[in-house]
Amino acid sequence: MAFKKAMVVMIILSLITCSVGFASGFSDIGQVSWAQSAISFMSQKGFVGGYSDGTFKPNQKITRAEIVTIINKMNGFEETGEIVFSDVNSKDWFYKEIQKATQAGYVTGFPNGKFEPNAFVTREQVAVIIGNLYKIEDSTESLIIEDIDQISNWAKSAVERIIKSGIMSGYPDGSFRGRNNITRAEAAVVLSKIHQKFSGVDIEQEEVIEPQIPVDEAVKPTPTEPEGDKVVNDTLEIVLGKLESRVLPKLTTTLQRDAANTVMDSISKYLSNPSYDFDSDVASAKSLVAQMTDEEQLAFENAITSSIPISELNTLNQKFRLINY
């Protein structure tokens, strides 16, 4: 019984966060075969998530707030600093993420005092961000960028270094197109290369393909140690506390708050009564997520995944082999 209830709680959480940390892939990344490995790797690590309909939307553009959120997760940045950007409010979901990024010193605002968190990030901006954070060194390798004159002066050095390092590349015609907006797929590839370069991880080797198990076996409880229930309860209590103290304050819409409260209420009831049947809560969570706009879903996902380490959600998967949602 405890296994079944714990699994349902995790299903609710996966619905709300749109996270694919336990999933084997997205339904739409076949269209970007060149980025499939990177996207799968980044999602399995908990650095990026998808949408409630099972898609990743690889060709969608990514905002400045979103890119720093991903980078903060990758590096485990938690220390925040004061910021004075005129377009960043303490009630914004990305407020703390921008605080973390500025404290880490890899982003700055614009001369007009704005950060432009909702503006789509450009390829040259990504090159500068990465160059600032990871201190990419220059090399003596000769390099010709056909559209070098189209790259902003403040970004030229970073673009040259990032291309030479192999982290970013240009197009077949020799151009870099620095002022083009970077897509979600492109960002996944670039950031996965960064992770590989500075962590020594082989992305292809680290990708985990979950073993397929029959559906009728997936819902059967596997033999657990006596402390199994305690592990489940301890994990749920931690997740519940962070949903309440960290996630809820970041939510700005009624649908987001209602969905979070549904999950929190369900977990609380389960902790008080392991026999509590909250199948209806799953339906409610699905309905609320389905009603959200893409922007709401993404903000909701970021609020949760930036507040709850993927390792805590993985605890139940490791203990009970919860896979193939």
pLDDT at 310 over 70: no
Q: Which of residues 139, 170, 201 is at a domain's end?
A: 201
267-304 pLDDT tens trace = 888 788 877 776 777 778 778 877 888 778 777 776 77
28 in a structural domain: no
Helical (H) or strand (E) element with 214: none
Rounded Cα gap, residues 9 and 270, in angstroms: 9
305 in a structural domain: yes
54 in a structural domain: no
Q: Which of residues 137, 170, 201 is at a domain's end?
A: 201
Claim to verify: residue 190 and residue 284 sit in the same structural domain: no
One DSSP character per residue, 145-194 reads -TTGGGS-HHHHHHHHHHHHTTSS---TTS---TTSBPBHHHHHHHHHHH
Claim to verify: residue 228 and residue 84 sit in the same structural domain: no
Claim to verify: residue 85 and residue 185 sit in the same structural domain: yes
* Spatial CA neighbour of 167 closest among 151, 150, 187, 147: 187
pLDDT, residue 45, reads 85
Q: Evaluate whether 266 touches 39 at the Cβ level (below 8 Å).
A: no
Claim to verify: residue 239 and residue 193 sit in the same structural domain: no
What domain count does the chain have? 2
Claim to verify: residue 44 and residue 71 sit in the same structural domain: yes
Burial of 144 (0-12, 13-18, 19+ CB in 10 A): exposed
Q: Which of residues 170, 201, 232 is at a domain's end?
A: 201
Rounded Cα gap, residues 185 and 62, in angstroms: 9
Instruction: Please give the mean pLDDT across all residues of the chain.
Output: 77
Other CB atoms within a 10 A radius of the CB of residue 213 amount to 12
185 in a structural domain: yes
pLDDT, residue 229, reads 63
120 — phi, psi (to 5°)? -70, 135
Beta strands in 207-269 (DSSP E): none
Q: List the Cα angle 153/159/165 in 5-degree steps.
A: 155
- Structural domain including 189 reads 34-48+59-201
Claim to verify: residue 214 and residue 93 sit in the same structural domain: no
pLDDT, residue 274, reads 76
233-251 pLDDT tens trace = 777 788 788 888 888 888 8
